[in-house]
Amino acid sequence: MAKITLPDGSILEVADGTTVAQLAEQIGPGLAKAAVAAKINGHLADLSTPISGEAAIQIITVKDNEGLEVMRHSCAHIMAEAICRIWPATKLVYGPTVEDGFYYDVDLDEPIRPSDFERIEQQMTEIVKADRPFVRREMTRAEALKKLAADKYKTDNINRADSEVISFYSHGDHFEDLCRGPHVPSTAKAGFAKVMSVAGAYWHGDPTQKMLQRVYGTAWPTQKQLDDYLHRLDEARRRDHRLLGKQLDLFSFDEAGPGFAFIHAKGMIIWNAIVDFWRGVHNRYGYEEIRTPIILNEQLWHRSGHWDNYKENMYFTRFDDASYAIKPMNCPGGCLVYKTRQHSYREFPMRVAELGLVHRHEASGVMHGLFRVRQFTQDDAHIFCTPEQIESEIIGVIELTFEIYKAFGFEDFHLELSTKPEKHIGSDEIWETATNALKEALRRKAIEYKINEGDGAFYGPKIDFHIRDCLKRSWQLGTIQLDFSMPARFGLVYTDKDNTEKPPVMIHRAVLGSFERFIGILIEHYGASFPLWLAPEQVRILPISEKTNDYARQVEARLKGAKLRCGCDFSNEKIAAKIARAHSERLPYMLVVGPKEAQSNSVNVRVRGGQENKTVGIDEFLSIAGRIIADKEIDLAF
Ligand SMILES: [Zn+2]
Ligand SMILES: [Zn+2]
């Protein structure tokens, strides 16, 4: 008998040789139907795998990320067969999954064009409909090498495999591919797929090798999920911050400074609104703010370690016969400020923020609007504290970070903790204290997180914050990073209770990361329909005709007195045209004023995106708008 432990801890006994699929059937027909693969003692496996002895088994469905990946990878096989059916000369190279989908690299001299995608999809649909089982066949490495001797790509794949048993998967009689697996039990379970794009890719990313064709696809468990995904992609194209930024006059780029953003007046209004809010929150959380120079002597960067580890990304300049670097990070400047006086444990924790302008030389190929730039403003801070204070400081940073994200309407975030890598500095003891403090802080805040074992920086463990925008795209924004290296490099000390000098714990942290990039994310997240507190122009007054221009000016003066950002549209156009223009510029509020409003000291309010209008007194409008701004409400409803 095989003894099986299920994820809920219950134990099931089945005959040796029972397959995972049969086990799923025994647990419940619903689960058996949904199952696509299994985890046996932590390893992914096919449902057809026989079980024996003692095993911990988890049935995987497409609701699990791993199940989704198995499904998508199975689609890669199906797409490969479809391509081979259409172009029999195709040589298959490698077909892994990527976020939201998969690709297959193929060696085929005839170019695959977007106009071919439909043909490929038709073949895929046929294969899926045929409901053919995925069947695993194993052989020794030597047998596999002999079988594929004529195929240099697959031979290379075998040589790279770490197992002595090499497996092949077929689905149907005419298609077999070398693969480690697992796969869904049959092609009918491969979901709903679409071929997305094709691009050139060198074999092993090596430009001296042949250029292959990389065909990308996406796959989802249901047609609806596929449609939703395609809709999100469309929406993302429509919201592209580079287009909206130009259309709404927020920022630009010029070849005079590739990767250096020019922020226009309207963009600066958004920028400054974020800075004001950011300062207010940091003030409340006990931060002080400094500013350090952007050009500093090269020697400083030798001392900080950036010269050895980061030189390729730095800009340099020379004057007065000395070499200087333009700062890629704010930390060394922060250390110099710390060193200007003595410190005692009594003043710890010391939280020092800096909106620091940094320059990092990114390759020109990776530049992408505000998302990837060479000059940006980091919302940096350094916390100096004792080892005992790490945990409470981390909790403080987490609370501050969540408060800031929520103000922008980001509610969906996840955290990742990266721990001690093999190559590291600092004693095991300090690593353990620090890592435990990070874990304990996360536990006390009841935050679920992913651990990336061994993925910390060589100088300390870190926590990264990721958010999801309204299109479900994930962005890494914030980071908390402990540093056991820099205080020693700069000889930073504080006087402890026992009157001895000790190096402080240094915590680097950023919440938004880069202001430029964050504003790019906001533009796409909101589709440039900014909440009232961020909108460059919050209200526009639209007089119906010249006769009410004077009243419009009076209303404008009242609004400006209440610190609302507003203007009047005195053009000669009809009121409908004025309204249409304000809508297209994504104005939150339009106040239409005619003789009736002038007489009753009121305004006729239209809300962005809405059809209705409502007449209210000026005072009432001011009080509602004031509340929406103060509460940072996303909803403009009146
Ligand atoms: Zn495979
Ligand atoms: Zn730093």
363 band by pLDDT with thresholds 50, 70 and 90:
confident
Q: Is residue 313 over pLDDT 80? A: yes
At residue 367, the pLDDT reads 79
Prediction pTM value: 0.82
pLDDT exceeding 90 applies to what percent of the chain?
A: 89
419 band by pLDDT with thresholds 50, 70 and 90:
very high
Q: Is 574 exposed, middle or buried, given 0-12, 13-18 or 19+ CB atoms closer than 10 A?
A: exposed
430 band by pLDDT with thresholds 50, 70 and 90:
confident
At residue 20, the pLDDT reads 94
DSSP state of 95: -
Ligand 2 centroid–CA 301 distance in Å is 13
At residue 433, the pLDDT reads 87
At residue 395, the pLDDT reads 95
Q: Show which residues are catalytic.
A: 331, 360, 378, 380, 382, 462, 508
Ligand 1 centroid–CA 8 distance in Å is 30
Which regions of 535-598 does DSSP assign to beta strands (E)?
Answer: 539-543, 566-568, 589-593
Ligand 1 centroid–CA 167 distance in Å is 9
Q: Is residue 459 over pLDDT 90? A: no
pLDDT digits (tens, 9 = 90+) for 182-218: 999 999 999 999 999 999 999 998 999 999 999 999 9
Distance CA 38, CA 25 (A): 13
Q: Is residue 500 over pLDDT 90? A: yes
At residue 637, the pLDDT reads 87
At residue 77, the pLDDT reads 97
Of 309 and 124, the one with more pLDDT = 124
When pLDDT is averaged across residues 410-430 and rounded to a whole number, the result is 89
583 three-state secondary structure = helix
Ligand 2 centroid–CA 508 distance in Å is 4
Ligand 1 centroid–CA 74 distance in Å is 6
Helix boundaries (H) for 14-64: 20-27, 29-34
Distance CA 106, CA 208 (A): 17
When pLDDT is averaged across residues 241-248 and rounded to a whole number, the result is 96
Contacts of 436 (CB under 8 A, 6+ apart): none
pLDDT digits (tens, 9 = 90+) for 80-122: 999 999 999 999 999 999 989 999 999 999 999 999 999 999 9
Of 451 and 427, the one with more pLDDT = 451
At residue 366, the pLDDT reads 77
pLDDT, mean over the chain: 94
Q: Is residue 162 over pLDDT 90? A: no
Distance CA 502, CA 516 (A): 38
Ligand 2 centroid–CA 2 distance in Å is 54
Ligand 1 centroid–CA 180 distance in Å is 6
At residue 96, the pLDDT reads 94
484 band by pLDDT with thresholds 50, 70 and 90:
confident
When pLDDT is averaged across residues 502-524 and rounded to a whole number, the result is 96
Q: Is residue 423 over pLDDT 90? A: no
At residue 506, the pLDDT reads 95
Asked whether 200 and 106 are in contact (CB, 8 A), the reply is no
485 band by pLDDT with thresholds 50, 70 and 90:
confident
Nearest ligand, CA 383 = 2
Q: Is residue 381 over pLDDT 90? A: yes
When pLDDT is averaged across residues 361-381 and rounded to a whole number, the result is 91
Ligand 1 centroid–CA 5 distance in Å is 27
DSSP state of 560: H
Nearest ligand, CA 94 = 1
At residue 200, the pLDDT reads 94
Asked whether 397 and 349 are in contact (CB, 8 A), the reply is no
When pLDDT is averaged across residues 293-300 and rounded to a whole number, the result is 96
Distance CA 439, CA 426 (A): 19
CB atoms within 10 A of CB 519: 22
